[in-house]
Amino acid sequence: MASGSGSSKNDFRRKWDKDEYETLAQKRLAEERDRERRDGKIAQPVKRDLLRHRDYKVDLESKLGKTIVITKTTPQAEMGGYYCNVCDCVVKDSINFLDHINGKKHQRNLGMSMRVERSSLDQVKKRFEVNKKKLEEKQKEYDFEERMKELREEEEKAKAYKKEKQKERKRRAEGDVDFEEDDEMAAVMGFSGFGSSKKSH
């Protein structure tokens, strides 16, 4: 233990025998392991699955712009915010909810570790092929002639729209002239506006 007799008379510090404490600690650990083996409480290490990508869409917009009345008796799942049924917790905003469902605690509750499966060369090649096919499907291949035809149709539509606008302006202008002639004719014949409160001077 602590040696009381120091090497010098002026040294009052305790001296600890490190080897003795090391042997005591090893003995205590061995006794604990023996006790666990006798009781049958050997804790097996938990084997978790590798991290997988989500096969469902995260719903962040269903409650957007809606008002909810919350009382003391409202269940936690219907409270304001985003509810995680795996961890039984409510997160107040979408950014923190995404952080939560991508986080270590949530993945651990799902039974997954944060380790990702190492992809082989064949898997990577297959994924590239799938992505390439998707891109090819999305891109609409235009033939030069088809594109020129579409541009001509758009120009014709624009010209027709402009002509229609000009015709409409002419009709309005002719309508105004007709009204003025009618007013002059009515004044000559002695009619002063049909029931209007305007007074002509």
Task: Tell whether 23 is covered by a domain.
Answer: no
Amino acid at site 67: T
Same domain membership, residue 102 and residue 89: yes
Task: Tell whether 197 is covered by a domain.
Answer: no
Task: Tell whether 17 is covered by a domain.
Answer: no
Torsion over CA: 10, 14, 18, 19 (sign): positive
Return d(Cα 180, Cα 199) in angstroms, integer: 15
Give how far the C-alpha of residue 60 lies from the chain's centroid of Cα atoms, to the nearest Å.
Answer: 7
Same domain membership, residue 106 and residue 76: yes
Query: What is the residue range of 125's domain?
Result: 121-174
* Angle at alpha carbon of residue 131, lines to 129 and 132, rounded to 5°: 65
Give the per-residue pLDDT at 24. 92
Burial annotation 173-200 (CB, 10 A radius, 16+ → b, else e)? eeeeeeeeeeeeeeeeeeeeeeeeeeee
pLDDT in tens, 70-83: 888 888 878 788 88
Task: Tell whether 164 is covered by a domain.
Answer: yes
pLDDT in tens, 103-125: 989 988 888 888 888 889 999 99
Task: Tell whether 11 is covered by a domain.
Answer: no
145 CB neighbour count, 10 Å cutoff: 8
- The tally of domains found in the chain comes to 2
pLDDT in tens, 8-31: 667 778 777 889 989 999 999 999
Same domain membership, residue 129 and residue 112: no
Task: Tell whether 20 is covered by a domain.
Answer: no
Q: Is 69 exposed, middle or buried (0-12, 13-18, 19+ CB in 10 A)?
A: exposed
- Give mean pLDDT, residues 164-176: 83
Tokens representing 109? 């509750």
Q: Rounded to 5, what percent of the chain is helix, strand, coil?
A: 50, 10, 40
